[in-house]
């Protein structure tokens, strides 16, 4: 396979910058990297705004990490994406542009850019192989986010082609887990439904409001599986193509809502609010390339949901 390394890339004694360490993805990567013999560097948002080009360059020139994991992004669920398209496009484009360009200038050894399965066309053939990129129109509800992520992965490709930089990109499916944003309006479906079901249980509500028709299908990847896959990619891959990361399993939103009610212990009825958008009908990725590199996901949705709810109870509710 193109890009598969015969000798693994050495992470031992390297300095790794996790851009976005406070987020769902960045937090899980920090935890996973604590098992590698490397030094992690981070900087908080109030000390460095990643949209500030000069500030990013100065910080990188001072720290000189040899690896960058670009997990910083403006993210949110379907309503956040469709109501704030300017912020999703601008913030994400400028963050990735600043970091990727400066990474080249300070000659980092390796950079890993995080994208999302929403880069693929709305009606892409399922499960979506990497070559489905740019073969058709995008899903409208997250077009801005997708365009920014496509630009980021193309930037990694372009810096590799023109300057020989070892920049790779990963496109994970819908993520969830400890450290997520449990916001019922702006969050993704799992944390949003968990909060709603939890409040419903506490208040003895008879109904749970589920957005859309309940028929769209999604592939959900547990955040600690993602972090493990990213470290695997860093060590074993150095190619031009982006790489999908998923579980190979999809569930309808109705099935997901039922599972969340079970985990939470909410016994009311599901009510589907079709005034809210469904988004893409399906977003299942083909994981063959990642499997060829030797990685498969481990955590079932049931297990991941139980761990996530426990974390929510201990840390948020
Ligand atoms: O997770 P989600 O917001 O994002 O929604 P997308 C997934 C599905 O769950 C949609 C339904 O069909 C929603 O209508 N849903 C049901 C809900 N109830 C709820 C609820 O209470 N909250 C939310 N949020 N959804 C995202 C993109 O799309 O995919 C992101 O917006 C990112 O940018 C991510 O790319 C991977 O899967 O539709």
- Count the neighbouring beta carbons within 10 Å of the beta carbon of residue 162: 9
Residue 101 burial class via C-beta count within 10 angstroms: exposed 0-12, middle 13-18, buried 19 and up:
middle
Q: What is the DSSP letter of 232?
A: H
pTM over 0.95: yes
CA–CA gap between residue 201 and residue 235 (Å, rounded): 45
Using the atom order of ligand 1, give the atom closest to the CA of residue 187: 24
The CB of 307 under 6 Å from ligand 1? The reply is no
pLDDT of residue 317: 85
pLDDT of residue 82: 95
pLDDT of residue 221: 98
> Can you read off the two tokens belonging to residue 294?
């030797």
Q: What are phi and psi of 192, to 5 degrees?
A: -65, -45
Cβ-based neighbours of 163, under 8 Å, separated by 6 or more: 104
pLDDT of residue 287: 97
- Active-site residue 145, yes or no? yes
Torsion angle, alpha carbons of 288, 293, 295, 301, to 10: -30
CA–CA gap between residue 65 and residue 51 (Å, rounded): 19
Using the atom order of ligand 1, give the atom closest to the CA of residue 280: 38
Catalytic residue among 120, 145, 176, 312: 145
Using the atom order of ligand 1, give the atom closest to the CA of residue 82: 31
| Cis amide leading into 127 (omega within 30) | yes
- Closest CA to ligand 1's atom 7: 189
Q: Which of 119, 122, 141, 189 to mutate to test the pocket of ligand 1 (most atoms within 8 A of CB)?
A: 189
pLDDT of residue 132: 98
Give the HSE-up count for residue 288: Cα atoms under 13 Å, Cβ half-sphere. Answer: 9
Using the atom order of ligand 1, give the atom closest to the CA of residue 174: 36
CA of 135 to the centre of ligand 1 (A): 23
The tens place of each residue's pLDDT in the chain, 317 residues long, gives: 999 999 999 999 999 999 999 999 999 999 999 999 999 999 999 999 999 999 999 999 999 999 999 999 999 999 999 999 999 999 999 999 999 999 999 999 999 999 999 999 999 999 999 999 999 999 999 999 999 999 999 999 999 999 999 999 999 999 999 999 999 999 999 999 999 999 999 999 999 999 999 999 999 999 999 999 999 999 999 999 999 999 999 999 999 999 999 999 999 999 999 999 999 999 999 999 999 999 999 999 999 999 999 999 999 98
Cβ-based neighbours of 86, under 8 Å, separated by 6 or more: 144
CA–CA gap between residue 262 and residue 43 (Å, rounded): 39
The CB of 237 under 6 Å from ligand 1? The reply is no
pLDDT of residue 85: 98
CA of 191 to the centre of ligand 1 (A): 10
CA of 247 to the centre of ligand 1 (A): 18
CA of 143 to the centre of ligand 1 (A): 13
Q: Which of 115, 188, 213, 308 to mutate to test the pocket of ligand 1 (most atoms within 8 A of CB)?
A: 188
CA of 169 to the centre of ligand 1 (A): 23
Q: How far is CA 130 from CA 58, 138, 148, 241, 287, in A?
A: 35, 15, 17, 8, 9
Cβ-based neighbours of 271, under 8 Å, separated by 6 or more: 207, 208, 209, 210
- Count the neighbouring beta carbons within 10 Å of the beta carbon of residue 67: 22
CA–CA gap between residue 17 and residue 32 (Å, rounded): 14
List the one residue out of 227, 269, 283 whose CA is nearest residue 112: 227
């Amino acid at each position: 396979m193109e890009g598969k390394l015969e000798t693994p890339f050495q992470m031992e004694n390297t300095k790794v910058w996790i851009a976005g360490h406070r987020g769902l993805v960045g937090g899980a990567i920090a935890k996973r990297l604590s098992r590698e013999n490397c030094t992690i560097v981070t900087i908080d948002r109030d000390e460095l705004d990643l949209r500030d080009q000069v500030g990013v360059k100065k910080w990188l020139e001072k720290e000189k990490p040899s690896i960058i994991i670009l997990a910083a992004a403006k993210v949110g669920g379907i309503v956040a994406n469709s109501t704030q398209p300017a912020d999703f496009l601008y913030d994400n484009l400028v963050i990735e542009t600043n970091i990727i360009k400066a990474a080249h200038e300070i000659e980092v050894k390796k950079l890993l850019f995080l994208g999302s399965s929403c880069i693929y066309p709305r009606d892409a053939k399922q499960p979506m192989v990497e070559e489905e990129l740019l073969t058709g129109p995008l899903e409208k509800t997250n077009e801005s986010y997708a365009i920014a992520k496509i630009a980021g992965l193309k930037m990694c490709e372009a810096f590799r082609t023109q300057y020989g930089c070892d920049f790779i990109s990963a496109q994970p499916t819908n993520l969830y887990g400890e450290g997520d944003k449990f916001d019922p309006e702006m969050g993704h479906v799992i944390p949003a439904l968990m909060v709603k079901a939890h409040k419903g249980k506490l208040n003895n509500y008879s109904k749970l409001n589920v957005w859309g028709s309940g028929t769209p299908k999604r592939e959900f990847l547990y955040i600690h599986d993602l972090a493990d896959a990213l470290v695997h990619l860093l060590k074993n891959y150095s190619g031009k193509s982006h790489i999908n990361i998923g579980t190979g399993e999809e569930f309808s939103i109705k099935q997901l809502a039922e599972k969340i009610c079970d985990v939470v212990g909410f016994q009311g009825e599901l009510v589907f609010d079709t005034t809210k958008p469904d988004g893409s009908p399906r977003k299942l990725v083909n994981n063959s390339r990642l499997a060829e590199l030797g990685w498969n996901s481990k955590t079932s949705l049931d297990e991941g949901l139980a761990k996530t709810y426990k974390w929510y109870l201990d840390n948020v509710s």
